[in-house]
Structure 1
Amino acid sequence: MAISRNIAATYRGPGRVVSRLMTMGPREDRALAYLMGACALIFVAQLPRLAREAHLSGEDLNMLMGATLMAWIFIAPLMFYCIALLARVVARLFGGKGTGYGARLALFWALLASTPLLLLHGLVAGFIGPGIQLQLVGLLWCGCFVWFWVSGTLAQERAA
């Protein structure tokens, strides 16, 4: 199934999508591609906010974009690998039967599947700015991300 269809299906049943992805076999290159794709989309989502910030403060937009690119493309993936490791350790303490690959896949897929909401968040931050609208979209993204991650983690922990 195409990634876009899987993302749409995740909003209907995140556990089923992660289970289906797990049946394709452990492919670390696929998990890394999901993570890097999500990080690249998150970087793109930050651009309207950065442009607004640069315009209002008089800072150089290129400097802001460079720092954000460094953070999301080089540093964030390492942090997400560490978070997945911690999630796997916690699941193992509670008797989970999943794998390290499954923990990474559940986290990375949750991040990728929730990026449409992050793109909306970036647009709201860039065009409207700080306010209740930005907070509501951020809360919606946070809720969906946690829902996707927890559902995917539970599915992969039970499947193994």
Structure 2
Amino acid sequence: MTVSADILESYAAPGRVMRRKLAEGPREDRALATLMAALGLIFLGQWPGLIRATRLDPAVPFDARVGGALMGLLFLAPLIAYGLAGLVRLVARMLGGQGTWFTARLALFWSLLAASPLMLVQGLVAGLIGPGPVLSGLGLIVLVAFLWLFGGALRASEAEGAIA
């Protein structure tokens, strides 16, 4: 299936999509590409809010704001994501999970990619409407969707025999 079809299906059945991804075998290059695609989309989603912030406060130029977002999302966030996936794997192991370090990473990275379209919408709202109850409510929706996706993917990835 295409990535966009997998993303849409993830909202209905995150475990089924994760099992299909795990059936492709452990490929770290695919996991890293998934993470970088997710972070790239999240980075693009930040632009409308950065443009709005620049127009409201031109003391910090747009280039500097984009540079900071680029540094944070494409250079620091992958390190944090790998660390978070490791912590999640340790907790899952203590709770009896049967997955591997790779399955925990893929569950987190895929969940980020699947939630990224909502983060793009959140970025548009940040740019067009700005801070307020709409943006806060949308942030809550994004969080709940991510937790749903990650919970389903992690459950599938920690099941016995999750990876061949």
With normalisation by structure 2, the TM-score equals: 0.96
1:98-119 CA-partner distances (Å, limit 9, x unpaired): 0111000000000000001000
The residue that corresponds to 2:67 in the other structure is 66
Equivalence map 1:3-82=2 (5 Å):
3-58=3-58, 59-82=60-83
Q: CA deviation at 1:136?
A: 1.2
TM-superposition CA deviations, 1:90-136 (whole Å, max 9, x none): 00001110011100000000000000100000000000001111011
Q: Residue 25 of structure 1: SS of its match in structure 2?
A: coil
Quote the residue 1:125 is aligned against: 126
1:159: Cα distance to partner? 4.0
The residue type equivalent to 1:67 in the other structure is: G
Measured in 2, the distance between the counterparts of 1:7 and 1:95 equals: 28
> Which consecutive aligned stretches of 4+ in structure 1 deviate over 2 angstroms post-superposition?
none
Between the aligned partners of 1:41 and 1:105, the Cα distance in structure 2 is 17
Distance in 2 separating the partners of 1:132 and 1:25: 43
Q: Identity of paired residues, percent?
A: 47
Task: Report the CA distance between 1:157 and its aligned residue.
Answer: 0.6
State the distance in 1 between where 2:7 and 2:82 align: 21
Correspondence for 1:157: 158
AA of the residue aligned to 1:25: G
User: What value does the CA root-mean-square deviation take over the aligned residues?
Assistant: 0.7
Amino acid of the structure 2 residue aligned with 1:107: L
Tell me the TM-score normalized by structure 1. Answer: 0.98
Q: CA deviation at 1:66?
A: 0.4
Aligned length: 160
CA distance in 1, matches of 2:116, 2:156: 21
Structure 1: how far apart are the matches of 2:49 and 2:83?
Answer: 28
What is the rounded CA distance, in whole Å, between the counterparts of 2:22 and 2:108 in structure 1?
13
CA distance in structure 1 between the aligned counterparts of 2:63 and 2:157, rounded to whole angstroms: 41
Indicate the SS of the match to 2:70: helix
Contact 1:19 1:159 in 2 (8 A): no
| Cα offset, 1:64, TM superposition | 0.4
What corresponds to 1:136 in structure 2?
Answer: 137
- Determine the C-alpha separation between the residues in 1 that align with 2:160 and 2:131: 42
- Structure 1 stretches lacking a partner, 5+ long: none
Amino acid at match of 1:2: T
